[in-house]
Amino acid sequence: MQNRLNSFLALSAVLIAATAYGQDWPQWRGPQSNGISSAKGLPATWSKTENVAWRVELPGPGGATPCLWGDMAFITSTSGDDLVLVAVDTKAGKIKWQTKISEGDKVVRGDEGNAASPSPSTDGKHVWVNFSNGSLACVDYQGKIVWNVNLQERFGQFKIAFGMTSTPILDGDRLYLQLIHGEGNAKTREATIACLDKATGKTVWKTGRPSEAHSENEHSYASPVLYRDTEQEFLLTHGADYIVAHDLETGDELWRCGGLHPPAGYDPTLRFVSSPAVAPGIIIVPSAKRGITLALKPGGKGNLTEQTDFHLWKFSITPDVPSPLILNGIVYLCRENGNLIALDEKTGEQFYEARTNRDRHRASPVYADGKIFLSGRNGVVSVCKPGKEFELISQNSLEEPLSASPAIAGKRIYLRTFNALYAIGK
């Protein structure tokens, strides 16, 4: 593992430098999967017409965040019953090509969700795209499918209320997937964690992920996260009452931690949607609804639920859907109601809780150029200044609903509404 870690750290230094220069956004939460971009010169104000470089109508609705590399943006979408990958030329603001990956859309939560909810990822040569019906494909930059597999055929039928919306994480030559679902019975063992070769789609390893969770709690809509520092690396999966760390080479469980339910007791509807956030020396673990947020120290073995030596702090409120943001010693939690909470990273002390936009917030916060961007379902993006005191810089409306997290590349903010992709900026 150490050789792989050393090789990765050397490679990642090159990639981070490249993406910092080119300002790419290769996967859901950005160059380092933490919601942070080094981009500069971003606008703080815009409208449906002001500071809009272009707007591209998409073939159908979806909630995925685009990935960007160079002059290309890639986004998943529905087109009738078809599930497609769309490539957009970001210079021209036009669709370059559209490739059908699968078919069989499933609409959930009214108009808020469908099979095009997981986000694509890219390494600058290929794009990896999956849909909640289990279709997972590798596509080249000309729109040609390199390989296409169905995860339900390989790992078993999904049993999950709102579709398998978890986004795989791309890391080196591998794709890591969490498929946490079940029929609601604590005795069943449907959940699977898997690692695939990105070049071939073949399974490198797979492992079960048992828990005592039952009812809706067996379902997870969160996405896996990698933790990596100079001494250790592991995969984090989140759902079914636990956060679990896995060995990257084998998938073996290293440790798990529960205790995420509210003090009142076990809530059978506490399905996880928000994904963990990591920074060197800390893992921020959200839960759902009336659950808690837990800060963990990386490391340990076995069940850490009662091993409080690994608990840094606990906070009584959690973001239900948006994932946390860790920035310059402060942890930001965006609640679904639009409230922004700022906590001390080391102690969990609350600096503030402030209202931004009163509409529902499904998207995760993103930081760049001295600004935190929070996206509401009503198309209003609140721009806040980071720090221990709340400061609202601006609020900007596209007058279109959205649930996708922002992506940032170059001097632009890319916002995917239900039916279009916007480039905000020069």
User: What is the phi/psi pair of residue 17, to 5°?
Assistant: -65, -40
Report the predicted TM-score, pTM, of the whole model to 2 decimal places. Answer: 0.94
Report the C-alpha gap between 381 and 398 in whole angstroms: 8
For 219-248, write each residue's pLDDT tens digit.
Answer: 999 999 999 999 999 999 999 999 999 999
What pLDDT shows up at residue 100? 98
Query: Which residues are CB-neighbours of 290 under 8 A, at least 6 positions away?
Result: 262, 264, 267
Q: Are 398 and 422 in contact (CB under 8 A)?
A: yes
Other beta carbons less than 10 A from residue 259's beta carbon: 18
What is the DSSP code (8-state) at residue 97? E
What pLDDT shows up at residue 17? 46
* 2-425 topology per CATH: Methylamine Dehydrogenase; Chain H (2.130.10)
Residue 358 has pLDDT above 90, yes or no: no
Residue 46 has pLDDT above 80, yes or no: yes
Beta bridge partners of 38: none
Which token pair is 179?
């498929």
* CB-count burial class (<10 Å; 0-12, 13-18, 19+) for 60: buried
Mean pLDDT, range 28-44, rounded to an integer: 96
Residue 110 has pLDDT above 70, yes or no: no
Residue 11 has pLDDT above 70, yes or no: no
Closest CA to 85 of 144, 43, 162: 144
Mean pLDDT, range 395-416, rounded to an integer: 96
As a 3-state breakdown, the chain gives helix, strand, coil percent values, each rounded to 5, of: 10, 40, 50
Report the C-alpha gap between 415 and 424 in whole angstroms: 8
Closest CA to 59 of 36, 75, 43: 75
Report the C-alpha gap between 184 and 52 in whole angstroms: 46
Mean pLDDT, range 277-290, rounded to an integer: 97
Mean pLDDT, range 93-110, rounded to an integer: 89
